Structure 1
């Protein structure tokens, strides 16, 4: 049985419009289904181990309509390669039209089916069914995840096949529907890797595109096929693939499996036969990054072959000949940064046993201007600091003797909370900051951190920006928006449009990634496609959790509890510790350890970015 599937006894069909509830479904491997007995609730099956394969049973001879629906719903949670067992519950016409790959609907619990007979006679040859539940998410045909809400209601129709007198489903919704527990057991999130468009992020880098694949059904081949199809619709405007249009796996390719040397051979169709050596290596890099995300220790080398079987190129993880052989930029920060009790910018090395921060070189570390927040460039050679009252933004080099100069931006907000947010550097070296002045709220970007502030277009923005963090790839931005007293986290796509006279920067297609939190107080990027978030559910207490950029949950618990968290900082290098400003001061959480106080007096911890 699926992990969150519950079974109830059969009920006799009744008059039209009268409903009898039936649960879903028997665990694959059960010998039979009961055909008599009182209606009763049965506890759902415990969560299956991730490595256990689950297969459903085909329809039993002379199965009643309720059993057919139950068996079909169960088959949707199984590990059949192409839902072969589920298809056996359908009529021939339904087989031709049903597309299980169209979408996956995730409900809070397994779908409940209510049946009603279409005639008044028990021997009627038709049944109508309604599947219902509460929506949690939808995974589309590109395998992209989107949180959803509201009620799920879809109709299923059964008929008795004339030739066999067996009940079968002849009308049903497209795609697959299952409960959240079964989804978490059956599917796994992986990052596909593409290159950012040069027009969007300057120097081409990599950008993660998260999708969900069925974890027990030939996942390596699924991952490769998904990568070859190109970026998902949301990311496509700012990302590119090096695979030529129309590239697929060579016809007849079965399962792809790394050999005992962790080498994977990928045969491609003729579209890839004429690629240059450099482009082929970019293609191989996309495959290597993507497969290493799915199975970190499983693929060390990728070989691409053309349609004739000839080798096109080979890329090994350890190679470094000037092309991109790692994901994006070097994201391992040299220091953690914060504002100390004297409102100066200081830094602390994770590798240094000394836990006393030292002032950064240059004016921002000398206390020439008191600061309340700062952002350090990804190269750690410059920093931007916001004055203690939030009205001025300064940019200065992190070198001894560096001068401060005039502010590069001023806010006219009446109070400190109505002025500048903590700034953020993107991967191309531009500086982002929001001005919260109620009379003139703006999101601004300064080219190379010192250009004329350019107002970013934010169509369909609902609320005031309270925090902004740009990803290292330069094409995604995380925003905390406040609206009607509630603060939520959104991810937007950064689009740049330049001509001979000007450049336009826009944030488009904002999507919520914390729909169940009503008060998000802090966030930080914490990996290629995830963030760490501090927030509160309605009526709940403050919590800290990891979330993916598509809004999907991350299995396992979040960071250990911490009291009174005001600010949080994480490195996009996931091996580096979390740093937070809490009721205990500046604290650090290294992998496998507990929170430790680093500085009693301090605020605004940040990593480069």
Structure 2
């Protein structure tokens, strides 16, 4: 029998528990071990000290903050700093607050011979913790940037002559150092409303033995409130999920529910399986999933397990994309560093087009003056022309629709071309923005724009709204994505939850990549990016995934190319405008 290693034997209620060191711990054993997940996390494990006898109120609060920095994650030591009533009230799994500095202040008590406060008469006392809060995670791990001061007032009471905290805050407090060391971004996979597409929902969880349990538990909590009107789940609720997801030595994750799967339709069983498998494929070492109900094991191949690479049909298209551009009034196709004219009429005569969108389904070109868009099949025939004003680059989606975005003077308008029909979509707050670029996510569930405003340009992201029959209803309201890089422009999706774009730096315009929740930005000068020469880059085009090529045009309409693992280099002999990425 296969020996099972319980990698997730932590109670469901403590899944988001704890975090780690704000620096080198001053107490408790520190042990270096092997990399636990291959996710680049710190290898330092830390067991914080319990309350010392005779500790002052300030020392108790400092010890309490330190105890929440345990790794592997555990709230057991932290509760030792609380009164019995406080420990019962504390809900460490409710949320996580990330801070970068902490100052403890409280009353001055009489000092004993050892220099520590030993006043036994004052009860209770108040101690303040002044923190700078960088971010907050909700119960599922969704990240929200805060960047604001936070003051917590702790009431300490005597318990058997020792000070203990009576009013713990809701959730956990962890240092930014711990967050950087032990938390990593993952996706919870729900479906869109029609149940056709898996939609990634980014969260941040502690890596290590609890990861599989944490992912499935948070998936079972259902879609977040922010996406509840555009997403759905087929996963049974949390109250019927077994409390852990053990992973065997040969990589089988055992996910069990106390629910009767036999009453589910085949379609629902498939959707449930896809959500679980896609969510767990992010855990290194898992090779397959055993998904069981009360008396039923779900399978897609007649066996008792499902391969971790299955259910790919519910994800975004994996077909290889390529860059396109306009050169000498011809549409050209760019494969790696090879440039050739597009076959068909567009490759012979682009009719003065200034922007193009290209797909297996056809070509859409914005003509000179940006007041007409011409849409054809791939050969350049069966033409349809639609009028607009200040038209942006058209976007094809995976269903063969063309998204046409323009500005009527009173605001942004988004229309959808299906066959010979064009209709205007309801877009809510997006209508009030001065949009300069528009991009659809690889799975078609989200959009991203860059927009001009009084304070400069910004990146905004929102949801594509569909009904149960997969009819596109419109666009959800936009939310600004935080990025430290100024003046973003030419935004593209580099994955289902990350955006790449051009922004200013001390070495000219560079390529940056930002998570849609604003939790991280890479690229530029010192953040792991490959520097683009200071050539006044104007447009960026790239595919999704780590192995995708990147292209940029500069102020002289020259074309630059970056292969994975390489450096930017100029493709000589070509001048290009209207740079875009398509299929």
Common fold by TM > 0.5:
yes
Q: Confirm or deny: 8 A CA contact 1:442 1:455 kept in the other structure.
A: no
Deviations 1:574-600 (A, max 9, x none): 322122223582222222111122354
Shift of 1:404: 6.8
Q: Confirm or deny: 8 A CA contact 1:103 1:141 kept in the other structure.
A: yes
Which has the larger displacement, 426-435 or 585-594?
Answer: 426-435
Classify the secondary structure of the residue corresponding to 1:365.
helix
- Equivalents in 2 of 1:333, 1:50: separation in Å? 35
Q: Which residue of 1 aligns with 2:146?
A: 148
- Equivalents in 1 of 2:272, 2:202: separation in Å? 18
- CA change 1:227–1:93 in 2 (3 A) is same
Shift of 1:522: 2.1
Structure with more relative contact order (C-alpha pairs < 8 Å, separation 6 or more): 2
Which of 19, 22, 25 does residue 4 from structure 1 map onto?
A: 22
Q: Which residue of 2 aligns with 1:20?
A: none
Structure having the higher strand fraction is 2
Q: Which residue of 2 aligns with 1:534?
A: 502
Shift of 1:487: 0.6
Alignment of 1:304-319 (within 5 A): 304-308=291-295, 310-313=296-299, 314-317=305-308
Q: Which residue of 2 aligns with 1:45?
A: none
Q: Confirm or deny: 8 A CA contact 1:105 1:139 kept in the other structure.
A: yes
Does residue 1:114 correspond to 2:92, yes or no? no
- CA change 1:519–1:95 in 2 (3 A) is same
Q: Which residue of 1 aligns with 2:15?
A: none
Shift of 1:81: 3.9
- Equivalents in 2 of 1:106, 1:75: separation in Å? 15
Which has the larger displacement, 517-526 or 270-279?
Answer: 270-279
- Equivalents in 2 of 1:135, 1:540: separation in Å? 31
Shift of 1:512: 1.8
Does residue 1:76 correspond to 2:68, yes or no? yes
RMSD, matched Cα:
3.0
Deviations 1:17-41 (A, max 9, x none): xxxxxxxx6354279xxxxxxxxxx
Which of 380, 386, 393 does residue 366 from structure 2 map onto?
A: 386
- Equivalents in 1 of 2:286, 2:309: separation in Å? 12
Which of 357, 362, 368 does residue 339 from structure 2 map onto?
A: 357
Which has the larger displacement, 550-559 or 76-85?
Answer: 550-559
Shift of 1:204: 0.7
Q: Which residue of 2 aligns with 1:479?
A: 449
Shift of 1:368: 4.1
Deviations 1:220-268 (A, max 9, x none): 1111111222222222221222224566323xx44521431x3222221
Shift of 1:273: 4.6
Does residue 1:291 correspond to 2:280, yes or no? yes
Which of 537, 554, 563 does residue 582 from structure 1 map onto?
A: 554
Structure 2, unpaired ranges of 5+: 1-18, 32-39, 112-116, 300-304
Does residue 1:224 correspond to 2:216, yes or no? yes
Shift of 1:509: 4.0
Q: Confirm or deny: 8 A CA contact 1:246 1:271 kept in the other structure.
A: no
Alignment TM-score, normalising by the size of structure 1: 0.80
- Equivalents in 2 of 1:104, 1:452: separation in Å? 46
- CA change 1:28–1:535 in 2 (3 A) is farther
- Equivalents in 1 of 2:522, 2:257: separation in Å? 34
Does residue 1:190 correspond to 2:186, yes or no? yes
Q: Confirm or deny: 8 A CA contact 1:81 1:217 kept in the other structure.
A: no
Which of 383, 405, 408 does residue 386 from structure 2 map onto?
A: 408
- CA change 1:258–1:541 in 2 (3 A) is farther
Q: Confirm or deny: 8 A CA contact 1:335 1:607 kept in the other structure.
A: yes
Q: Confirm or deny: 8 A CA contact 1:248 1:268 kept in the other structure.
A: yes
Structure 1, unpaired ranges of 5+: 7-24, 32-47, 412-418
Classify the secondary structure of the residue corresponding to 1:559.
coil
Does residue 1:591 correspond to 2:564, yes or no? yes
Q: Confirm or deny: 8 A CA contact 2:104 2:130 kept in the other structure.
A: yes
Q: Which residue of 1 aligns with 2:129?
A: 131
Q: Confirm or deny: 8 A CA contact 1:395 1:450 kept in the other structure.
A: no
Shift of 1:118: 9.5
- Equivalents in 1 of 2:468, 2:294: separation in Å? 40
Q: Which residue of 2 aligns with 1:18?
A: none
Classify the secondary structure of the residue corresponding to 1:481.
strand
- CA change 1:264–1:504 in 2 (3 A) is closer
